[in-house]
Amino acid sequence: MSAERWALFSVFDKTGVIEDARRLVAMGWKIISSGGTAKVLTAANIPVKDVAELVDGGAILGHRVVTLSREVHAGLLANLNKQEDLDEIAKLGIPVIHMVRCDFYPLSKAIENPLATIDSVVEMTDIGGPCMVRSAAKGGRIVVCSKQDMEDVLSTLEFAGDISQDHRQYLRARAEFEVAKYVMDSAIFHGAGEFDALIGEKVRGLAYGENRDQSPADLFIFDFGNPLGWHNFQVLTSDPSYISTADGDRALGVMRALVDAFRVNCRRAPFIAIACKHGNPCGVGIDFFAPGVALIKAMLGDSVAVMGAEFMTNFPIDADLGKLIYEVPESEQQNVGRKYWGVDVLYAPSVDDATVELLGKKEKRRILVNPALAEMTSPQSEWMRRPVEAGFLRQKNYHYVLDLKDLVKTTDDLGNHDITHDMIIAWAATWRSVSNTVAIAKDGMLLALGCGVQDRIGCVQLCLGRAKRSKHNTYGSSFASDAFFPYAKRLNSGEDIPLEGPQLLVQAGCVAGVVPYDGKNIAEVEEYFQQSCIAVAFVRPEHRGFFGH
């Protein structure tokens, strides 16, 4: 470094800037600053050179063009290892700028404003800041775009006098990343749907990929303000894998659907426990009074599939509840066929130390906590994106919540609270599982799920078959189907001709259901359910539940 070390400050958010400048000055640095920041530093009696004094001709266009000058960028781009560069800018009276501390105008807030216009967004679009930051990055300077990075830099300078090349390289990458995000926000807004991007920051290395030969795998985040974001799940034991995170996110979708639907239809959400396997729920249990009851219901939904499952609750796990997750109650062990549930991953608002110790007896069992699971109030992102070969698909996120007061019609009265609860459970499980799907629920628990089958008859057969395997009595249960039934019943029957889905559900003893009001034979299906005395809630056809294609 040259004898004089100059730092250029240009920040929109002035929080902490005085203390940062003081610490640099105490180390012998000199400060150059843009107009607004210079006034703040001058008022604090910190010696500062206004950048307008440096540039040839001063600030113009109402101070909008100041740092966009050859003097500033020459001070940032001069090669510190080339004497001819240093001699040239010295001859011109331009100081070498060794550090830039810069943030940008809050463009994203301007875009998120419901009253945003092209003019209001353009007015809040920073040009000088991103240009400065990129020049500093290219010039190998210390370039800082965040308060946290500034603290790390100052602490290192105070201890060692300089930062390492690896630290400098990280800051260079961070600067380019921040500019890329900023520019893409602008492109997406002005492009009106013609452009999109996924720009994320790595927050966690994952234990392994979906398959071991797909490692390494990592978690990236682009919305740090979402309390339910996976960066806010604290790891208490082993690091999660790609599968446990991806499947956990599917469980989170089921949890969100349940909480929202219970709040809409019952004014409050119950205690909810969800077991997921391969991204689809194999157990859901609810209870308005006892979380332990919800846990056992979720475990007993499909007691075979629950082994190795991801388990999620909207309530804290204490030592007593931890024992219920770990060991099958003695009264159920003979029926379940084993002593331990074998849950592989646990997500909860909090987990006590005793449970961590108990569940941690299994090597690499994963436990993650996030207090936001207890509230479930974070809004969903606006868009869903899915990678495809050479690109990605984008569609609006699925915001539909079952409202039993807003239906096309019903075949019978839906006033029974127990039936309502079961319909919500079946709906949430179905609308958040891989299509095609049919689910049945009873007494506040998911009995079975038939998902990912190519035809509606097969969905129902699989669902009822799994319920039978788990020794559930399906009489009095409620069902949900993510799409319409093409037919109500078979005109001809025989051993080799399977019954239609509605016939199978009636035969199983279902008393209520949720179905989209769609399909060319919907009148026939409606009449059949009505004649069979099944209370079916027909949702609007645009609210089909296809998912996970």
CB atoms within 10 A of CB 269: 19
- The pLDDT of residue 1 is 44
Q: At 153, which CATH number?
A: 3.40.50.1380
489 falls within a domain: yes
- What average pLDDT score do residues 92-96 get? 88
- The pLDDT of residue 494 is 64
What residues pair up with 440 in beta bridges, in sequence order? 448, 479
Whether 204 and 219 have beta carbons less than 8 Å apart is answered as yes
382 falls within a domain: no
Last residue of a domain, one of 191, 217, 251: 191
Q: At what angle do helices 147-160 and 165-191 cross, to 10 degrees?
A: 170
Same domain, 276 and 141: no
Q: At what angle do helices 17-26 and 147-160 cross, to 10 degrees?
A: 10
Same domain, 524 and 425: yes
- According to DSSP, residue 344 is labeled -
How many CA atoms are closer than 13 Å to the CA of 81, on its beta-carbon side?
3
Domain enclosing residue 304, as ranges: 233-374
Q: At 302, which CATH number?
A: 3.40.140.20
Structural tokens at position 111: 């875009």
Into how many domains does the chain fold? 3
Same domain, 183 and 121: yes
200 falls within a domain: no
Structural tokens at position 479: 């069902």
Last residue of a domain, one of 127, 162, 191: 191
Widest pairwise Cα distance in the chain: 98
| Among 30-44, 231-245, 438-452, the least confident range | 30-44
Spatial distance between the Cα atoms of 224 and 280, rounded to a whole number of angstroms: 26
Checking phi first, is residue 337 left (phi over 0); if not, alpha (psi -120 to 50) or beta? left
Give the pLDDT confidence of 138-193 residue by residue, as tens digits.
999 999 998 889 999 999 999 999 999 999 999 999 999 999 999 999 999 999 88
69 band by pLDDT with thresholds 50, 70 and 90: confident
Same domain, 473 and 537: yes
CB atoms within 10 A of CB 34: 23
- The pLDDT of residue 59 is 63
Same domain, 449 and 319: no
Task: List C-alpha distances in Å: 512 to 424, 440, 482, 502.
Answer: 11, 10, 15, 11
- What average pLDDT score do residues 382-386 get? 89
Asked if pLDDT for residue 363 goes beyond 70, the answer is no
- What average pLDDT score do residues 299-320 get? 95
Asked if pLDDT for residue 2 goes beyond 60, the answer is no
- The pLDDT of residue 67 is 67
| Among 362-366, 504-508, 518-522, the least confident range | 362-366
Same domain, 15 and 154: yes
- The pLDDT of residue 307 is 93
The overall average pLDDT reported for the chain is 92
Give the pLDDT confidence of 213-263 residue by residue, as tens digits.
999 999 999 988 899 999 999 999 989 999 999 999 999 999 999 999 999
Nearest to 427 by CA among 478, 392, 352, 375: 478
118 band by pLDDT with thresholds 50, 70 and 90: very high
| Among 70-84, 205-219, 300-314, the least confident range | 70-84
